[in-house]
């Protein structure tokens, strides 16, 4: 069976042989994904339809309504977005927290990243900030997203979660090291949603009144303080309250203990993105705060629970393509993939008119020519085409997107490991920032999972950790009962072949 698998060439659904399943088709090594990438869209479209009716990822979650209040207007140097125009201005919001890999019935305390998705109901339309509680992710190319998520779900043969699938993929994808280090640290098991930070993770952009573009990353710092479970406490909570994060959030808001987050942004001028020593559009890396410090913008407060979970939380649909004038996107490949994947997933899961549901609809006036489709409930008269001579809504060129200049117009499947293969410095820096007891827990958490897989996968993965920091690799090897010298020597021999 194994020999048969090795002899087969991967193809598309139509049988076309695939020459590169590791890199999306982009405009230069740092440019955006192009629409003709048939393989990416085939994989993402198929992936979005694999499971019904729950979300493919982020299936279990909690939601709440709140208010965003501007506390500083410094951001107005970088954007014309009206929600930031004056101190004290408030915008209603809705948030959905979630675990990522688990099903709807899974435990809230599982070791997993947490979704941190916000919908701002602004006067210029909805702004959806669809992020996580981590500033980075496991991969940097959307072509690998479905492959990665498959390793976090259940083995198709046993229907069990598989450490082998996870570590096999991670060991062959060293770009995952930064996020793996966060996942298996104390922050991989947050004590409820109120005690964790949120991040846009992706690089977005802001445009000011002069037409100048600035790249940005959003940060939401909890006012409640970071609070995490140890691995043992997280496991114990599964038997005490499977819905701990849900009950904690709902209960706090119910009794008037409204959770808050400080909202800040990092800003990078457009010209600096071309020469900065770190690819600013690489989702596996952070922007050092010493180079791009946090700029305070406002405060988020959650102050109202939903009345009906299904209508307001289960049917909530967030999508990173929802930005307002004065905001834009970036060549972040993972973001580019999500711009298409998210609305496609919503149309499949909720129906083509998902964005007219009360929790998803804008609070400002909006006018489109979209008609018909499943669950269309509005009674609309007039033409359903544009242009028309009957006074229907028309375009306004002042809202055209700002033109984007790309430094390298060559379209190809650029190998990101060839152009930028340093996946060891930042996770190594993160490891060295941890206190000795936190380092010990991190190594123990990894060993508890990695120790269940076969030695060849252990060897490759531990050699990656060793490159981040020798103490990192040594600590995991010791916790598994392995000799780090033998592992490093064996991997050096493999690399030399």
Active site residues: 58, 132
Are 486 and 496 in contact by the 8 Å Cβ rule? The answer is: no
| Dihedral sign computed on CA atoms, order 380, 382, 384, 386 | negative
* Strands of 28-140, DSSP E: 61-70, 90-99, 114-122, 125-132
**Displacement of CA 84 from its chain's centroid (Å):** 24
Q: Tell me the C-alpha to C-alpha distance, in Å, between residue 151 and each of 162, 166, 246.
A: 7, 5, 26
Peptide bond into 53 cis (omega under 30): yes
* Kind of pairing between the strands at 198-199 and 204-207: unpaired
Are 206 and 216 in contact by the 8 Å Cβ rule? The answer is: yes
Task: Spell out the SS3 assignment of 199-257.
Answer: ECCCCEEEECCCCCEEEEEEEEEECCCCCECCHHHHHHHHHHCCCHHHHHHHHHHHCCC
Q: Tell me the C-alpha to C-alpha distance, in Å, between residue 484 and each of 214, 250, 380, 427, 435.
A: 45, 47, 69, 19, 22
d(CA 144, CA 129): 22
* Kind of pairing between the strands at 114-122 and 295-304: unpaired
Are 68 and 83 in contact by the 8 Å Cβ rule? The answer is: yes
Q: What CA dihedral angle connects 26, 30, 31 and 33, to 10 degrees?
A: 40
- Which 8-state DSSP code applies to residue 59? -
What phi and psi, each to the nearest 5 degrees, are found at residue 221?
-100, 120
């Amino acid at each position: 069976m194994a020999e048969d698998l090795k002899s087969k060439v991967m193809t598309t659904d139509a049988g076309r042989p695939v020459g590169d399943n590791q890199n999306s088709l982009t405009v230069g090594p740092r440019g955006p994904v192009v629409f003709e990438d048939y393989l990416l869209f085939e994989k993402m479209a198929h992936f979005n339809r694999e499971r019904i009716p729950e979300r493919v990822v982020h299936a279990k979650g909690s939601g709440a309504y709140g208010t965003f209040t501007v506390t500083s207007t410094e951001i107005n140097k970088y954007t014309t977005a009206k929600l930031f125009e004056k101190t004290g201005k408030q915008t209603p919001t809705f948030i959905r927290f979630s675990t990522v890999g688990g099903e709807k019935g899974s435990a809230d305390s599982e070791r997993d990243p947490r979704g941190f998705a916000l919908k701002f109901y602004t006067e210029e339309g909805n702004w959806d900030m669809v992020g996580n509680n981590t500033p980075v992710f496991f991969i940097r190319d959307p072509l690998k997203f479905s492959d990665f998520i498959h390793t976090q779900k259940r083995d198709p043969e046993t229907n069990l979660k598989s450490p082998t699938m996870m570590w096999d993929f991670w060991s062959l994808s060293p770009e995952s090291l930064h996020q793996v280090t966060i996942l298996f640290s104390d922050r991989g098991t947050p004590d409820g949603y109120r005690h964790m930070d949120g991040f846009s993770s992706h690089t977005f952009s802001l445009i000011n009144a002069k037409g100048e573009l600035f790249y940005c990353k959003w940060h939401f710092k909890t006012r409640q303080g970071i609070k995490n479970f140890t691995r043992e406490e997280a496991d114990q909570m599964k038997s005490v309250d499977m819905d701990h994060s849900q009950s904690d959030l709902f209960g706090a808001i119910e009794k008037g203990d409204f959770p808050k987050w400080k909202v800040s942004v990092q800003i990078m001028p457009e010209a600096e993105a071309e020469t900065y020593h770190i690819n600013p559009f690489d989702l596996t890396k952070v922007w050092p705060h010493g180079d791009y410090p946090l700029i305070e913008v406002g405060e988020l407060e959650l102050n109202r629970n939903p009345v009906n979970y299904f209508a307001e939380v289960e049917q909530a649909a967030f999508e990173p393509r929802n930005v307002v004038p004065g905001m834009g996107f970036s060549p972040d490949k993972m973001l580019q993939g999500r711009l298409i994947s998210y609305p496609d997933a919503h149309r499949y899961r909720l129906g083509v008119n998902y964005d007219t549901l009360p929790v998803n609809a804008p609070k400002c006036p909006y006018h489109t020519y979209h008609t018909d489709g499943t669950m269309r409930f509005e009674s609309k008269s007039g033409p359903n085409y544009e242009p028309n001579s009957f006074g229907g809504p028309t375009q306004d060129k002042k809202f055209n997107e700002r033109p984007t200049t790309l430094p390298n117009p060559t379209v190809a499947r650029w190998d990101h490991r060839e152009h930028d293969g340093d996946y060891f410095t930042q996770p190594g820096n993160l490891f060295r920032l941890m206190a000795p007891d936190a380092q010990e827990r991190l190594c123990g958490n990894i060993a508890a999972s990695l120790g269940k897989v076969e030695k060849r996968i252990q060897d490759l993965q531990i050699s990656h950790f060793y490159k981040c920091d020798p103490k990192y690799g040594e600590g995991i090897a010791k916790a598994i009962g392995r000799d780090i010298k033998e592992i490093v020597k064996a991997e050096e021999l493999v690399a030399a072949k």
